[in-house]
Structure 1
Amino acid sequence: MKFEKNIFEGIFLNRPNRFNAKVILNNEEMVVHVPNTGRCREILKEGTKIFLREELNPNRKTKYDLIAAMKGDILINIDSQIPNKVVNEALQNKKIETLHKYSKINREKTFGKSRFDFKLSTEDEEEVYYLEVKGVTLEDNGHCKFPDAPTERGARHILELIEAKNQGYGAGILFLIQLDNVKTFSPNDDTDPEFSNALRLAKERGVDILAYNCTVDKNSIELNNKVDIIL
């Protein structure tokens, strides 16, 4: 998907809280919004080249969103609102091979006590599939992990996917890795063992576990290739 808004290059200074960052843009220090509540500590370091999306809403407190950063020579998109949009585009374009048969795509649908990112169905609506999407930014030497901070809702969502599977629906979780050239993915046992254990249980119970990397540049991001999963 192409970004429709203007993108500018800046320099990261610090992150006083999880919602905001101080950056330099055109030799001016300013506060921008960070659309990711994860830690991103290995990415957002002082002096790092970052990319800012201009937001033209006059009611906003900040004029820019910090959507991507360079980690060495790797460009990582950190916008937590992007994964669902990228996956929606990929579903429409039939780029996720295991989900080709689902022609009807509905977003933000409730099952049990959870709201899943997608409810997919075949044209005759005889087959229904619930899909949850998680954006991944934590990377180390080609290996990615999720989450980079404890997630209260993460394990609950997985248990609801298991219940959907038990009731005869299709169910899956897709980890969208917001960078390219990634070799493997695994749950982050050290950061959130409850989530990791729930994911392994889901695999045992027949829930699909998918991971894809992305082609990323400063003006676009697109689902790319499947990544090997290590559970």
Structure 2
Amino acid sequence: MQLPPLTKGVILYRYKRFLADVELDDGSLVTAHCPNTGRMTGCWEPGAPVELSYSDNPKRKLAWTLERVDMGRGWVGVNTARTNSIVAEAITEGRVPPLSGYARLQWEVKYDFPDHPPSRLDLMLSEGDSSDALVEIKNVTLLVGDTLQFPDAVSVRAKKHLDVLMGAVERGLRGIILFALNRPEGDTFAPAAEIDPGYAVRLKEVIDNGVEAYALRLNHQEKGIVGGGMVSVSR
């Protein structure tokens, strides 16, 4: 994925979840939209280098968007609105081997089955040699030691997605949870059991019963982001 033109600066403060004050390299101060619903633990600190994108859309309240932060070892992607597109691009280009061989990719698929509320999952893959696959993508930026973890806060919604994937498997489909690792550090992925033990337990349960879990590295380049390189998943 090619990113729009980026402007460099340093982050001063993140507040009210969706706002970040940034000093640009020319010395001007701006408030940027921070499109990240998580806590962003370990993804920012005052004075950390950042890159922003700019929009002249008059309907926007804030012209600037926080795209990524350098915590000392390379860019950490904090614009979660881009993650699904990067993963979808990697799948269609054959850079996610477990999900290769499908001719059709659909976005935001509504999936209903008895005794469960209607749900939407990020992708559906069909017209392949394997069973159709429902894919839920989770953006991962929490780093604990050398392990990337999810979630960074208790998430009832994320746990419900696992239930939906389990329901899909029970009906003969492939259920896929794909963790998109949006920073360069870390050599393995594991659920954040200390933060959300319920999610960690449920993830193990659904994997034991046929849900497939994969972790894909998102590689930040000067002008874009490329998905490629599988990382081991520890339960």
Code of the aligned partner of 1:37: T
SS of alignment partner, residue 87 of structure 1: helix
Contact 2:73–2:185 (Cα < 8 Å) also in 1: no
Alpha-carbon offset, residue 181 of structure 1: 4.7
SS of alignment partner, residue 120 of structure 1: strand
**2:161 corresponds to:** 157
**1:167 corresponds to:** 171
**1:131 corresponds to:** 135
**2:6 corresponds to:** 7
Alpha-carbon offset, residue 180 of structure 1: 2.6
Deviations 1:188-223 (A, max 9, x none): 011111211111111011110000112113421111
Matched, 1:107 2:107: yes
Alignment of 1:9-24 (within 5 A): 9-24=8-23
Deviations 1:118-160 (A, max 9, x none): 0111259x83110000011112343100111222210000011
TM-score with structure 1 setting the length: 0.94
2:121 counterpart (91, 116, 124): 116
Alpha-carbon offset, residue 96 of structure 1: 1.2
Measured at CA, do residues 180 and 224 of structure 1 come closer, stay the same or move farther in structure 2, by a change above 3 Å? farther
Deviations 1:69-96 (A, max 9, x none): 0111221111111221011101211111
Distance 1:192 1:86 in 2: 27
**1:92 corresponds to:** 92
Contact 2:96–2:228 (Cα < 8 Å) also in 1: no
Deviations 1:7-49 (A, max 9, x none): 0111111112101111111212221100101111312111111
Distance 1:14 1:187 in 2: 28
Unaligned runs of 5+ in 2: 113-117
Deviations 1:153-172 (A, max 9, x none): 10000011001000111111
Distance 1:85 1:61 in 2: 24
Number of matched residues?
229
Segment of structure 1 superposing worse, 126-135 or 147-156: 126-135
Two-structure CA RMSD over aligned residues (Å): 1.5
TM-score with structure 2 setting the length: 0.93
Deviations 1:88-108 (A, max 9, x none): 101211111112121110010
Code of the aligned partner of 2:50: I
Distance 2:201 2:102 in 1: 29
Code of the aligned partner of 1:160: V
Contact 2:48–2:71 (Cα < 8 Å) also in 1: yes
